[in-house]
Amino acid sequence: MSSFILHDHENDGIDRRGFLHCMAWAGTGLLVSLTGGVGRSQTLGHGQHPAQADLRFVQISDSHIGFNKEANKDVTATLQEAVARINALPEPPAFLLHTGDITHLSKPEEFDTAQQILKGCKVGEIFYVPGEHDVLTGNSQAYLERYGRNTKGDGWYSFDQKGVHFIGLVNVLNLKAGGLGSLGRDQLEWLADDLKGLSSSTPVVVFAHVPLWTVYEEWGWGTEDGIEALAYLKRFGSVTVLNGHIHQTMQKVEGNITFHTAASTAFPQPKPGSGPSPGPMKVPAGQLRSLLGLTGVKYVRGNRQLAILDESLEPESASQAVNIDNFSFSPAALTVRAGTEVTWTNRDDIPHNVVSTDKSFASPVLDTDEKFTHRFTEPAEHAYYCSIHPKMTGKLIVLQ
């Protein structure tokens, strides 16, 4: 798999024609913004949220309710944290997509727990597709009894929202040798028929559990007949494919199609090929939440971008630090959220100060080891410098 940029057409570090393969375990759900349809992603907390949208929705995946091993002994709590993150969004999403492995062992009590938690999510509706862990017993019957209303075949379906066509596919009921997903002839024929009446200008979002593109065949991270499904989507100007299963965020942009996998809310898995096999990856307790998350999507009619925002479950710090050392600010640029306190500490043997160019904050002269703290309450971008040594400069960006 290629992981380098062949053509950076928009000077944004994204290869629009080859692979863009962003491996960021720093687990995130997916806040997806559909802006006319071509994919784009950024990490929450490192860039501005798209300002306006006709449609916002959120993706979570792989909650694995019932799992209680060393990687994460309380997956219920981390799913609850994901719901709390969604409920804290400044604007409620129109709906939530859960891309499978709701449960770990397909037990009724696991489905009950997941349903109870997700019932508290402040979204208009929740749409599901199954993961292989949701259909371990009785084929897909237990899953379909709960989530199969108004679906076709083994649970596939489509719906429309604000001019966007959504398609939920099932690729976990007939896993092939090595674990590759499979859609099957009946579902592929239904998909071709479902797309037949749509204009090629219609933005399309496809969601399934196992990635439709081949991430790593040796571990079954792909769908055997996914290429055929994707062939039906080539005539559309804007296609976004959302998946879970691999428990880490990864993106690929190929022509008109943006592929994006979401992190798990339960536990991380290794990078492709970095271990003997996939499976729960043990990490130090303090790192776990940085590897879990959710994703949000936003659509703006008429634009040519789909905004996909990933967010980890790691609690955001209410404070940040900048060191003044060797006549420089470190870090020289810092991004924080509104409400964060930033503390500058002078580590040099001579005095410095911190003065913003817009006069919104200024420190007294700081001798060695003295500190200056300021709380930033409003979104803004602040350039600052040391007025004693003006060549010392820094930047601070405050997000909403």
Residue 237: burial class (beta carbons within 10 Å; 0-12, 13-18, 19+) = middle
Instruction: Write the CA distances from 359 to 354, 355, 363, 384, integer angstroms.
Output: 11, 7, 11, 9
- How far apart (Å, rounded) are the C-alpha atoms in residues 292 and 281? 12
Residue 366's φ and ψ, nearest 5 degrees, are: -105, 120
Mean pLDDT value of segment 301-320: 65
- How far apart (Å, rounded) are the C-alpha atoms in residues 94 and 172? 27
Mean pLDDT value of segment 247-257: 88
Torsion of CA 309, 35, 50, 333, to 10 degrees: 70
Give, as one character, the DSSP assignment of residue 286: G
Mean pLDDT value of segment 295-315: 65
Structure tokens at 389: 């040594």
- How far apart (Å, rounded) are the C-alpha atoms in residues 22 and 173? 28
Residue 43 confidence (pLDDT) above 60: no
- Predicted confidence band of residue 177 (pLDDT cuts 50, 70, 90): confident
Q: What is the DSSP string of 16-64?
A: SSS-----B-S--EEEEEEEEEEEEEEETTSSPPPS--SEEEEEE----
User: Do 360 and 346 contact (CB within 8 A), yes or no?
Assistant: no
- How far apart (Å, rounded) are the C-alpha atoms in residues 373 and 398? 15
pLDDT of residue 295: 76
Regarding predicted confidence, which is higher, 126 or 253? 126
User: Do 165 and 158 contact (CB within 8 A), yes or no?
Assistant: yes
Secondary structure class of 108 (helix, strand, coil): helix
User: For residue range 365-376, what is the model confidence (pLDDT) as tens digits?
Assistant: 999 999 999 999
Q: Which of 119, 73, 50, 122 is nearest to 93 (CA)?
A: 122
Structure tokens at 275: 């271990």
pLDDT of residue 47: 37
User: Do 308 and 297 contact (CB within 8 A), yes or no?
Assistant: yes
Query: What are the contacts of 385-391 at 24+ separation with CB within 8 A?
Result: 385/355, 385/357, 386/324, 386/352, 386/353, 386/354, 386/355, 387/353, 387/355, 388/351, 388/352, 388/353, 389/327, 389/352, 391/327
- Predicted confidence band of residue 21 (pLDDT cuts 50, 70, 90): very low
Name 38's Cβ contacts closer than 8 Å, sequence gap at least 6: 237, 238, 256, 258, 304, 305, 306
pLDDT of residue 302: 59
Lowest-confidence pick of 199-203, 222-226, 335-339: 335-339
Is the pTM value of this prediction over 0.85? no
Structure tokens at 127: 């749409």
End-to-end CA distance of the chain: 37
Residue type, 396: L
Residue 62: burial class (beta carbons within 10 Å; 0-12, 13-18, 19+) = buried
Lowest-confidence pick of 141-145, 188-192, 319-323, 395-399: 395-399
343 dihedral zone (left: phi>0; alpha: psi -120 to 50; beta) = beta
Residue 138 confidence (pLDDT) above 70: yes
- Predicted confidence band of residue 22 (pLDDT cuts 50, 70, 90): very low
Structure tokens at 3: 């992981």
Name 399's Cβ contacts closer than 8 Å, sequence gap at least 6: 45, 47, 48, 49, 335, 336, 337, 338, 379
- How far apart (Å, rounded) are the C-alpha atoms in residues 235 and 297? 22
